[in-house]
Amino acid sequence: MTNPRPSVSWIGDARSGHLQLIDQTLLPVEYRELACTTVEVVWDAIKMLRVRGAPAIGVAAAYGVVVGCQTDATSTRDQLNSRLQHVVTYLAGSRPTAVNLFWALDRMHRTANSVPNLTSAELLERLLVEAKAIEREDREMCLAMARHGLPLLSRCQGVLTHCNTGGLATAGDGTALAVIFAAAAQNPSLQVYADETRPLLQGARLTAWELMQRGIPATLICDSMAGWVMKEGRVQAVIVGADRIAANGDSANKIGTYSLSILAKAHNIPFYVAAPSSTFDLTIQSGEEIPIEERASTEITNAFGRQTAPDGCRTYNPAFDVAPATHITALITEKGVIQPVTKENIHAMLKS
DSSP reduced 3-state for 10? strand
* Domain assignment of residue 19, yes or no: yes
Q: Could you say which of 102, 120, 140 is where a domain stops?
A: 140
* Domain assignment of residue 44, yes or no: yes
Task: Clarify whether residues 121 and 181 are in a common domain.
Answer: no
pLDDT digits (tens, 9 = 90+) for 54-69: 999 999 999 999 999 9
Q: Which residues span the domain enclosing 333?
A: 145-350
Mean pLDDT for all residues in the chain: 96
User: For the residues 307-318, what does the mean pLDDT come to?
Assistant: 97
Task: Clarify whether residues 136 and 150 are in a common domain.
Answer: no
Task: Clarify whether residues 219 and 341 are in a common domain.
Answer: yes
Q: What is the b/e burial string over 209-218, where b = at least 16 CB atoms within 10 angstroms of the residue's CB?
A: bbbeebebeb
Residue 300: pLDDT above 90?
A: yes
Sign of CA dihedral 210, 332, 61, 76: negative
User: For the residues 213-222, what does the mean pLDDT come to?
Assistant: 97
Task: Clarify whether residues 156 and 47 are in a common domain.
Answer: no
* Domain assignment of residue 1, yes or no: no
Domain count across the chain: 2
Q: How confident is the model at residue 199 (pLDDT cuts 50, 70, 90)?
A: very high
E-assigned strand segments in 151-254 = 158-161, 191-195, 218-221, 237-240, 244-246, 251-254
pLDDT digits (tens, 9 = 90+) for 3-60: 457 899 999 999 999 999 999 999 999 999 999 999 999 999 999 999 999 999 999 9
Catalytic residues: 243
Q: Could you say which of 105, 140, 175 is where a domain stops?
A: 140
Phi and psi torsions of 342, nearest 5°: -135, 160
pLDDT digits (tens, 9 = 90+) for 130-139: 999 999 999 9
* Domain assignment of residue 2, yes or no: no
* Domain assignment of residue 285, yes or no: yes
Task: Clarify whether residues 49 and 196 are in a common domain.
Answer: no
pLDDT digits (tens, 9 = 90+) for 103-142: 999 999 999 999 999 999 999 999 999 999 999 999 999 9
- Which amino acid is residue 67, in one-letter code? V
Give the helix, strand, coil percentages of the chain, each rounded to 5.
45, 15, 40
User: Do residues 158 and 191 touch, judged by C-beta distance below 8 A?
Assistant: yes
Residue 181: which residues within 8 A CB-CB, separation 6 or more? 146, 166, 173, 174, 214, 216
The string of DSSP codes covering 233-248 is T--SEEEE--SEEETT
Say how far apart CA 5 and CA 11 lie, in whole Å: 11
Question: Residue 151 has what DSSP assignment?
Answer: H
* Domain assignment of residue 304, yes or no: yes
CA distances from 31 to 6, 43, 46, 181, 205 (A): 13, 21, 18, 22, 12
* Domain assignment of residue 77, yes or no: yes
Task: Clarify whether residues 71 and 182 are in a common domain.
Answer: no
Residue 1: pLDDT above 80?
A: no
Task: Clarify whether residues 61 and 77 are in a common domain.
Answer: yes
Task: Clarify whether residues 161 and 181 are in a common domain.
Answer: yes
Q: What CATH number has the domain bearing residue 35?
A: 1.20.120.420
Q: What CATH number has the domain bearing residue 172?
A: 3.40.50.10470
pLDDT digits (tens, 9 = 90+) for 220-253: 999 999 999 999 999 999 999 999 999 999 999 9
Say how far apart CA 297 and CA 175 lie, in whole Å: 29
The string of DSSP codes covering 180-191 is HHHHHHH-TT-E
User: For the residues 334-338, what does the mean pLDDT come to?
Assistant: 98
Q: Could you say which of 87, 122, 140 is where a domain stops?
A: 140
Return the percentage of the chain with pLDDT > 70, whole number.
Answer: 99
Task: Clarify whether residues 134 and 189 are in a common domain.
Answer: no
Task: Clarify whether residues 97 and 159 are in a common domain.
Answer: no
